[in-house]
Amino acid sequence: MQAEATARHSDLSEKDNRALISLFSAYTVTATLWLLFATGVGLLIAFKFGAPEFGGGAWLTFGRLRPIHTNATFYGFASIALVGLGYYVAARSCGTKLYSAALAWTGLVLFNVAALAGTVALDLGYIDGDLEYREWPWWIRLIFLAAVLVSAWNLIGTVARRSSADIYLSNWYIMGGTLWGAIIAIVGVMPWYQYGLGQVAVSGFYMHNAVGMWFTPLALGVIYYSLPKLLNRPIYSYALGVFAFWTNLLFYPIIGAHHFEFSPLPWWLQTIAIVFSVAMLVPVWGGSSNFLLTMRGRIRDLIHSYPLMFIFVGVMSYLIGSTQGTLEAFRSLQQVWHLTDFTVGHSHLTMYGIISFVIWGGIYGLLPLATGKKASQLGMALHFWMALVGCFIYVTSLSIGGTIQGLDWMHGLPFIQSVIDMQSYYVGRGVGGLLMFSSHLVFAWNVWRMCYGTGAVASPLQALRAEESVA
Amino acid sequence: MNKLLLIAGGSTLVYACLAWTMGVWPGIELSKIPAGPGVEPLTALQSEGREVYVANGCSYCHTQQVRPLDADKVFGRPSAPGDFKYQTPELLGSERTGPDLTNIGARQPSSVWQYIHLYNPRAVVPESIMPSFNWMFAVVAEAPAGVTPVPLPNNYAPAGGVVVPTHQAEALIAYLAALKQPALPASAAPSASGAPSATGASSGEAPTTAKASASAAAAPVGNYDATKGAALYTANCSACHQASGEGLPGAFPSLKGDAVVNKDDATKHIDVVLNGLHDARVSGVVYSSVMPPFSGTLSDAEIADLIDYERSSWGNHGAPITAAEVGVERAKAK
C-alpha cells in the first residue's frame, strides 16, 4: 500500500501539487492574521476587567468587542485554518489532487469576506442579537454558510477521486465536520422557529454544536492524519476511531441544552442534555486513549518534536476539557459554576487547548512537508511554551475565581462582593492572555518562515516522496 | 462511491435528524408558548432601548434569567416560560459579570440613578467594572427646556456645562425601567415566604403586639446582627445612599444625621423601607428619584437588621427596632 501511495504521488503533476501548496499556505496565512486580530481584541477586553475606562467610546466598548473576539476566533482563525488543513489532509491521504482549486480559492475569499463584514458590522452595532457565536447579521452568516458548503462539496469531490477503495478515517471527520457545520449554520440562521423561548432552545443547540460538531471533528481529522504521519506508525486502533466517530455523532448533538440548566426550558430537555453529557465520555475517552496509545513508548520522539508536543497538548486538553464539560453539566456543580467565569475558563481550555493546539501541531507538522520550509526550533519552542503556560494561567485563574464567584452568590453575599473577589483572578487572566497573544506573534513569524522563508530543507516534491501515505 | 455515500450521506442524515429533534423541533414548540399573565409587549421607545441594549452587548455581562435557586432570589421570582413571549432576540445570557436585570425596573426604579450609573458606573458604585457609556450623553452649556440634566457628583462631572442624555440613552433607560416581573398568579407573591403571617408563626417571632415592640425598643443599640445589616445595606441601599450614608447631593438624600433615621419613633423609617418613596422632600430638597419598596424582597428580620444598621452607623443614634415592629407596619399596609 505504501509503495502504491508513493507511486500515486508521482502521478500527480507538479502543477497540481503547487496548487495545493499555495492553497494550504494561503489558508494558513489568512487564518494567522485573524488569530492575531482576534486575540489582540481578546487581550484588550481582558484588560478592561481591571481598567474599565481603558479604551472608551462606542467602537471600543466591551459589549461590542466581546462578540468580535469570539466570532473572529471561531470563523476567522479556527474555521479557515482547519479547512486549509482539511484540504491538505484529504488530498494527501487520498493520494489525489484537489477536486477543484478554484472552488477552494472561492471558499477562502468567502470565509474572509464573511469574517471581515461580520467584524465591521458588530463594531458598528449591527447585530442579530446577543446570541452566542451567531451574532453576525444573517446575510453575513449566509456568506459563511456558502463558504462551508463550497468546502464540503470540494472535500467530498476530492475524496471521491481517491485512488484506493478505502476512505481513511481523517476524511470521515473532515467531510462530516463540514457537512454538519453547514446544517448547524442553517439551523442557526432560519428565523421561523426562533421566537422567545424557542430561540433559547436553538441557542443551546447552536452554541454547543458549533464547537463540537464543526471544530472538533475537523481537529480530530487533523490528528488522525498527522499523528501517524509524524510518528511514522499507524493509528493504534482504526476500529476504535470508527466507534468514536459514530458515538460522537449520536451523543453530541443532544447535549446543547445543558447551557441553559435551571432556565425555563423544559426540565426534560435539560435532563436529557445532562444524561448525554455523561454519554460523551465514551467517544472522548475512546478517541483520546486511541491517540495516547498511538503515542505509547515514543516519549523521546514526542519531546524532540514540537508538532507532536502541540498535538499531545491538544489530546490532553480534549481528555481533560471534555471530561470537565461532563462534570459541569451535573446540576449540583452547575449550580456553583453556571454564569460564572469558570465557563470562560472551560471555553478557553477547549477552544484554545484542543482546537488551537491541534491546528498549530497540524500546521507545524504538515506545512513544512508541503512547502519544504521549516520553522526554527527556537520559534516553535517559544510559541509552544508561552501558549501552554499562558493558557494554564488563564484557565487556572478563571477556574478558581469562577468557583469563588459562584460560592459568593450561594452564600448570599452582596453581588458587588463577587466583582471585588474576582479582581486578582482577572489580573491572572490578563497575564495569561498576554503570554498567549505573544506566542501568536511568534507563530506568525514561524508561518512566514514556513511559507516564504529562505531556509528550505528540501524541494516540495522530494519532501512528498520522502514521506509515506498513512492511508 | 457507496462507501462515500454511507459515510458522508449517512452521518449527515443522522445529524440532520438529531438537529431537527434537539434544535428545530423544540424551537417550533417553544416559540408557541403564550405570554404569561401581565406580560406585555414593549412600547416603541422601550423596543428602541432594547435594540441599544442588544447592539452594545449588555447581555454578555448581564443575564435575564432568574433560576429557581436560593442564590438568585435577590433578582426576583424564578423566570417562567410565559415571560419570554415578546423577547426576540432572547437575552438570557451566559455570564453574570454584573447582576441579573430581569427585574431591574422594580429593583432600581430611579431613572436618575440609572442615568448617573450609565454615564459612569463608578460615580454610584465605586467598585463597579462596567464600562462608562458617557458617549450616550451630550455635554451642553444649558439643558434644553423640559430636559433635566444628569446630577453627576462633582468629581465625575465635566469641567463646564451640564450632561444631558441622548435619545439612545433615554430609550435604553426606558427599556430598563420596563424590566419588571409580573407576579405569578398560581403561587402567591414571592414575598409570601419571607413575610411572616399576622400570627407571626412563619418566622417564629414573638406575636406582633405593642408590648413586644415596647420591650424591644428598650434594648440597647447594637443588639442586632451588624454583619447581616451591613451586607443588606450594601446589597440594597448603598447604590444610591452610598457606603458613607451621605447619598449624592441633589440625587439621593443622605441618611447621615437624617431626621427620620434619628427619630426615636421609627414608624416612618420602617414605612419608607417597606413601601418605598417618591418625590420625597428631605431637609428642604425635593428628590425626583423613586425609592423601591422592599416589602416584597426582604423579611421582617432582615428589614430590622437593615434599619438598625442605618440607625447606628455614620454617627446616627436612632433607637433600634425589632422584627416585630416591622411586622406591625407590614400588617398596617395590607
| Domain B44-178 identical in fold to domain B202-333 | yes
Phi/psi for B297 (5° steps) reads -110, -25
Question: How far is A58 from chain B, CA to nearest CA, in Å?
Answer: 7
Please compute the mean of the pLDDT values over residues A408-437 and round it to a whole number: 96
Establish if A27 belongs to a structural domain: yes
Residue A439 burial class via C-beta count within 10 angstroms: exposed 0-12, middle 13-18, buried 19 and up: buried
Q: Which residues of B touch A190 (CB under 8 A)?
A: 24
Establish if A92 belongs to a structural domain: yes
Please compute the mean of the pLDDT values over residues B153-163 and round it to a whole number: 90
CA A374, CA A447: separation in Å to the nearest integer?
9
CB contact under 8 A, B54 and A129: yes
Nearest to A198 among B16, B28, B59 (CB): B28
CB contact under 8 A, B23 and A213: no
CA A412, CA B71: separation in Å to the nearest integer?
6
Mutation for testing the A interface, residue in B21, B97, B299, B306 having most A CBs under 10 Å: B97
The length of chain A is: 471
Residue B241 burial class via C-beta count within 10 angstroms: exposed 0-12, middle 13-18, buried 19 and up: buried
3-state DSSP call for residue B140?
strand
pLDDT category at B249 given cuts 50, 70, 90 is confident
Closest CA relative to residue B63, chosen from B150, B179, B152: B179
How many Cβ atoms sit within 10 Å of the Cβ of residue B167? 12
Closest CA relative to residue A91, chosen from A12, A146, A32, A25: A12
Please compute the mean of the pLDDT values over residues B178-186 and round it to a whole number: 86
Q: What CATH number does domain B44-178 carry, 1.10.760.10, 3.90.1570.10, 3.40.50.620, 3.40.50.300?
A: 1.10.760.10
Closest CA in chain A for residue B31:
A198
Nearest to A67 among B15, B27, B57 (CB): B57
CB contact under 8 A, B134 and A56: yes
pLDDT at B201 over 60: no
Nearest to A195 among B4, B26, B88 (CB): B88
User: How is residue B6 written as a grid cell?
Assistant: 454511507
A8-51 tens-digit pLDDT: 555 578 899 999 999 999 999 999 999 999 999 999 999 999 99
Establish if A401 belongs to a structural domain: yes
Nearest to B31 among A194, A335, A419 (CB): A194
Half-sphere exposure of A19 (CA within 13 A, CB side): 17
CA distances from A256 to A23, A208, A325, B17 (A): 34, 5, 11, 15
pLDDT for the residue A471: 38
CB contact under 8 A, A125 and B1: no
A316-347 tens-digit pLDDT: 999 999 999 999 999 999 999 999 999 999 99
Please compute the mean of the pLDDT values over residues A112-140 and round it to a whole number: 97
Question: How far is B46 from chain A, CA to nearest CA, in Å?
Answer: 16
Neighbouring residues of A407: CB distance < 8 A, sequence distance ≥ 6: A336
Residue B13 burial class via C-beta count within 10 angstroms: exposed 0-12, middle 13-18, buried 19 and up: exposed
Nearest to A262 among B67, B94, B234 (CB): B67
Rounded to two decimals, the pTM is 0.89
Q: Which residues of A touch B12 (CB under 8 A)?
A: 176, 179-180, 183
Which residues are paired to A139 by β-bridges? Answer: none
Nearest to B56 among A125, A172, A205 (CB): A125
Question: How far is A336 from chain B, CA to nearest CA, in Å?
Answer: 9
CB contact under 8 A, B57 and A197: no
Which residues are paired to B165 by β-bridges? Answer: B137
Percent of chain A whose predicted confidence (pLDDT) is above 70:
94
Please compute the mean of the pLDDT values over residues B182-192 and round it to a whole number: 59
Residue A251 and residue A280 in contact, taking contact as beta carbons nearer than 8 Å: yes
Question: How far is B81 from chain A, CA to nearest CA, in Å?
Answer: 5
Mutation for testing the B interface, residue in A339, A410, A427, A429 having most B CBs under 10 Å: A339
Q: Which residues of A touch B55 (CB under 8 A)?
A: 64, 125-127
Closest CA in chain B for residue A413:
B231
Domain of residue A218, residue span: 2-466
Tell me the fold of B202-333.
Answer: Cytochrome Bc1 Complex; Chain D, domain 2 (1.10.760)
Give, in degrees to the nearest 5, the angle at Cα B142 between B175 and B156.
65
Question: How far is A353 from chain B, CA to nearest CA, in Å?
Answer: 21
Nearest to A179 among B8, B55, B128 (CB): B8
CB contact under 8 A, A196 and B14: no
Please compute the mean of the pLDDT values over residues A275-293 and round it to a whole number: 97
Which residues are paired to B137 by β-bridges? Answer: B165
CA B128, CA A422: separation in Å to the nearest integer?
12
CB contact under 8 A, A412 and B70: yes
Question: How far is B238 from chain A, CA to nearest CA, in Å?
Answer: 11
Neighbouring residues of A224: CB distance < 8 A, sequence distance ≥ 6: A168, A169, A170, A173, A235, A241
pLDDT for the residue A258: 93
Q: Which residues of B touch A419 (CB under 8 A)?
A: 97-98, 127-129
CB contact under 8 A, A253 and B19: yes
CB contact under 8 A, B22 and A254: yes
pLDDT category at A455 given cuts 50, 70, 90 is low
CA A225, CA A303: separation in Å to the nearest integer?
19
Q: Which residues of B touch A160 (CB under 8 A)?
A: 1, 4
pLDDT at B190 over 60: no
Closest CA in chain A for residue B72:
A409
pLDDT for the residue B117: 96
Residue A469 and residue A6 in contact, taking contact as beta carbons nearer than 8 Å: yes
How many Cβ atoms sit within 10 Å of the Cβ of residue A303? 11
Cell 407590614 found at: B330
CB contact under 8 A, B90 and A209: no
Q: Which residues of B touch A218 (CB under 8 A)?
A: none
Nearest to B234 among A206, A335, A416 (CB): A416
What does the mean pLDDT of chain A come to?
93
B264-275 tens-digit pLDDT: 898 999 999 999
Nearest to A419 among B15, B63, B129 (CB): B129
CB contact under 8 A, B95 and A260: no
CB contact under 8 A, A198 and B27: yes
3-state DSSP call for residue A34?
helix
pLDDT at A193 over 60: yes
Half-sphere exposure of A422 (CA within 13 A, CB side): 29
Please compute the mean of the pLDDT values over residues A365-389 and round it to a whole number: 96
**Interface predicted TM-score of the whole assembly (ipTM), two decimals:** 0.93
User: How is residue A93 written as a grid cell?
Assistant: 491521504
pLDDT for the residue B186: 60
Establish if A175 belongs to a structural domain: yes
CA B108, CA B114: separation in Å to the nearest integer?
8
Closest CA in chain A for residue B122:
A52
Query: Higher-confidence residue: B227 or B35?
Result: B35
pLDDT for the residue A153: 97
Please compute the mean of the pLDDT values over residues A47-69 and round it to a whole number: 95
Q: Which residues of B touch A410 (CB under 8 A)?
A: 70-71
DSSP A60: G
Closest CA in chain B for residue A183:
B16
CB contact under 8 A, B234 and A199: no
How many Cβ atoms sit within 10 Å of the Cβ of residue A250? 17
Helix B11-19 / helix A169-189 crossing angle, nearest 10 deg: 30
Q: Which residues of A touch B4 (CB under 8 A)?
A: 156, 159-160, 167
Domain ranges of chain B: 44-178, 202-333
Which residues are paired to B282 by β-bridges? Answer: B285
Closest CA in chain B for residue A49:
B129
> In total, how many domains does chain A have?
1
Mutation for testing the A interface, residue in B5, B92, B240 having most A CBs under 10 Å: B92
Question: How far is B57 from chain A, CA to nearest CA, in Å?
Answer: 4
**DSSP 3-state helix, strand, coil percentages of chain B (rounded to 5)?**
45, 5, 50
Please compute the mean of the pLDDT values over residues A116-127 and round it to a whole number: 97
Residue A260 and residue A206 in contact, taking contact as beta carbons nearer than 8 Å: no
Question: How far is B50 from chain A, CA to nearest CA, in Å?
Answer: 10
Question: How far is A36 from chain B, CA to nearest CA, in Å?
Answer: 23
CA B277, CA B280: separation in Å to the nearest integer?
6
Residue type, position B277, single letter: L
Query: Higher-confidence residue: B247 or A383?
Result: A383
Residue A340 and residue A397 in contact, taking contact as beta carbons nearer than 8 Å: no
Question: How far is A470 from chain B, CA to nearest CA, in Å?
Answer: 19
B29-57 tens-digit pLDDT: 999 999 999 999 999 999 999 999 999 99
Please compute the mean of the pLDDT values over residues A187-191 and round it to a whole number: 96
pLDDT for the residue A10: 52
CB contact under 8 A, B71 and A199: no
A/B interface, count of CB pairs below 8 Å: 251
CATH of the domain at A351: 1.20.210.10
